[in-house]
Amino acid sequence: MTRVIVVGAGGREHALVRALARSPQRPQVLSAPGNPGIADDAAVFAEASPDDVDGFAAAAAAAGVGLVVIGPEAPLVAGLADALARAGVPCFGPSAAAARLEASKAFAKDVMAAAGVPTAAHATVDTVADGLAAISSYPAVLKFDGLAAGKGVVIAGSADEARAALTEMLEQRRFGPGPVVVEEFLDGEEVSLLALCDGERAVPLQPARDFKRIGEGDTGPNTGGMGAFSPVPGIDPALVEGMVATVHQPVVDELRRRGTPFHGVLYAGLMVGPAGVRTLEFNVRFGDPETQAVLPRLRSDLLDLLARAARPGGLAGAELEWDERSAVTLVLAAGGYPDAPRTGEEILGLDAVAPGIEVTHAGTRRAGGRILTAGGRVLNVTALGDTLRSARAAAYAAADAITFEGRQLRRDIAAAAGGSMSDLPEAIPGVDMVPESAPAPATVAEEQVEAALDELDSDAPLVGIVMGSASEKPAMEEAATELEERGILHEVRVMSADGDTDLVADYARNAHMRGLRVIIVGAGASAALPGVVAAHTDLPVIGVPLTSPEASAGGLDAVLSIAQAPPGLPVACVGVDSARNAALLAVRILGSAS
C-alpha cells in the first residue's frame, strides 16, 4: 500500500486528500498537519513538522512514504521539495528555485519575457514616487513582489488609491520588505488554468474561474478566493490546448533550459479578451478554491498522475478523463475577513448538509465536541450538477444550512456564467479559438426559458420561485417575468419533494435568514412540494397547481393537494397554471409587510 502525505491545512488540501483517497490503488493518505475535517478522512503524520524541511524529509523517508504532495506555496518556497529529493522521497511540487515563479512577481515577468509568454506591460519599483510615475492610466494594478496569501494585489482606480496602496506595501511593509510590480490593467474574462508538469511537458486540468474580491460584484479588498466554478463556458478543449501551448509549455521549457525543471502544478491566471490571452500571474501549487471545484470532476487516478509528474517525462501519453457535470464551490468566510477575521465562533449545521455535497474544511479547529472557526476562510461547499445553474442552486442550498456568527458568503458566485465569454474575439493570436460545443438537446421552449432565467439570481432576492422539475419552468416563467418587470429581486430553484427532500428542507429552513420574504412553489399531479416547503418555513408560501401529463382533470388533483394542506401548514393556492397571479399576490404580501 502506497503511503501518501498531503502537506497543508486548508480546503485545497482537504480536496486533495479526498481525491487521492478515490484512487483505485487504495493508498494510505496522511496529512501534515491537517485540520478537523481532514482528520475525518486522513490520519495525521505527526513524526515531524513540514516547517522543519530537513527533519520532515528524514521522517518521511524513515516512514516509507511513497509520495509527498505539497499544497501551500510557503513550504515550496522554503525548499521542502528539495529536502525530500535529497532524502530520496518522491515529491509532487517544484524546487525552491522553480517556486520563485510565485515567490517573486518580478522573476515571473523575467521568465515570461524570456519564454515569449504574453503578459501585461509592467515596471518594478522600490519607492512610492517611482510607483506613481510608472502609472500611465487608471485603473492600474499594483502587486507586492513576494508572497502575500492572495492579498497582495490592489487595483487602484485613482492616484490617491495608488499612493495609499504603494505606501502600505513599500513604506509600512504590510507584507514584509520587497518591491512592487506596477502593471497595466487588462480587461476581459479571467480564467484559471492549471497544468500538471513533469519537468518536460504540461498536461492541462479543466479550466475554472474564481472570485477574488470579498464583496458581490467584485467589490472590496482582494482575498484568497471566495468561490469558483468549473468548467468555464466558452473555453473548450481545443482552446485549452492552445492556451497551454502559448503559456504553460514555454515556461516549462524555459525553466528546464535554466536547469530548474518544473515538477508540480503550474497555475496560470489568464485574462481572455479582445486583445487575446495574457497572463496575469503564475502560482506553483493547486489554486484555492479552484481545486475544490476541479478535482471532484476528475475521473482519472490522481495518485497515478501526481506520481508520474514527480518523474522526469513521467506524464508522457497521459490522458485525463472528466465528469461532464459542472461544479460550483462557495467559500464561507469569517466575520472581519480579510483584514481581521474573527475566530472561535461555533459552526452549526454541518450535519444538515444534503448527501452528495462536498464540504471541505479550510480554517477550523475542534474544541471538545464542537467545531469552531479558526481562520479567515472557514469552509468550502462544493456541489455538482448537470448544469452550472443546478450546481449553483445545490451549493447555495447546502451553504445556507451552515451557520456561524459573522459568516460571510458571496451571493453571486457563478451567477453570470453562461454567456460571459461572448465578447471573445473570433481568433486569438497564437491560440486556436474553437466555438463552444453545441448544448445538450432541448426543446425550443426550454431553451427560451433558460435564456429568460439567466439573470434571475441576484444578490438579495425577496421572492423564491421553486418547482419540482425543469420541465415546469415554462409554466412558472410568468411569475419570474412579472417580478422582473416590477423590479423585485428573486431567485429560481428546481428541487423535488421526492428525490431532494433534504435539499428542499434546507432551502426552506434557511430562506428567511437569507432575506426571502415569500416563496412561490409550482407543482403538478399530487403537488406535495408546496406543503413540504411550508412545513420547514414561517414565510408565506403560495402554491401554483400545474397541469402535466400525469395530472388528472386538467390539474384539479394539484389544486386539491395544495388547497387541502394539513392543519398547521398554511399554503395559499392560486388557479391552475396561474404563476402570474402568484407573483401578483407575492407583490401584495411584500407591500403589506413594508
Report which residue type is found at 466: V
Q: What is the DSSP letter of 47?
A: S
Which grid coordinates belong to 300?
482519472
Q: What is the largest CA-CA distance in the chain?
A: 79
Give the position of cell 445545490: 394
Q: What is the DSSP letter of 247?
A: I
Q: What is the DSSP letter of 352?
A: G
Q: How many whole angstroms separate alpha carbon 538 and alpha carbon 360?
A: 31
What are the residues whose beta carbons fall under 8 Å from the beta carbon of 175, sequence distance 6 or more? Answer: 144, 146, 147, 148, 151, 152, 169
Determine the distance from the C-alpha atom of residue 477 to the mean position of all C-alpha atoms in its chain, rounded to a whole number.
Answer: 29
Instruction: Confirm or deny that 578 is annotated as ligand binding.
Output: no
Q: 266 phi and psi, to 5 degrees?
A: -105, 115
Report which residue type is found at 495: M
Candidates 318, 322, 297; CA nearest to 308 is 318
Which grid coordinates belong to 24?
483505485
Identify whether the C-beta of residue 527 lies closer than 8 Å to the C-beta of residue 469: no
Report which residue type is found at 6: V
Q: How many whole angstroms separate alpha carbon 77 and alpha carbon 94?
A: 9
Which grid coordinates belong to 443?
426543446
Q: How many whole angstroms separate alpha carbon 221 and alpha carbon 509?
A: 31
41: left (phi over 0), alpha (psi -120 to 50) or beta: alpha
The full length of the chain comes to: 594
Q: How many whole angstroms separate alpha carbon 563 and alpha carbon 540?
A: 14
Q: How many whole angstroms separate alpha carbon 313 and alpha carbon 311?
A: 6
What are the residues whose beta carbons fall under 8 Å from the beta carbon of 300, sequence distance 6 or more? Answer: 319, 320, 321
Q: How many whole angstroms separate alpha carbon 251 and alpha carbon 262?
A: 9
Identify whether the C-beta of residue 408 lies closer than 8 Å to the C-beta of residue 41: no
Determine the distance from the C-alpha atom of residue 134 to the mean position of all C-alpha atoms in its chain, rounded to a whole number.
Answer: 34
Binding residues for substrate: 469
Binding residues: 469
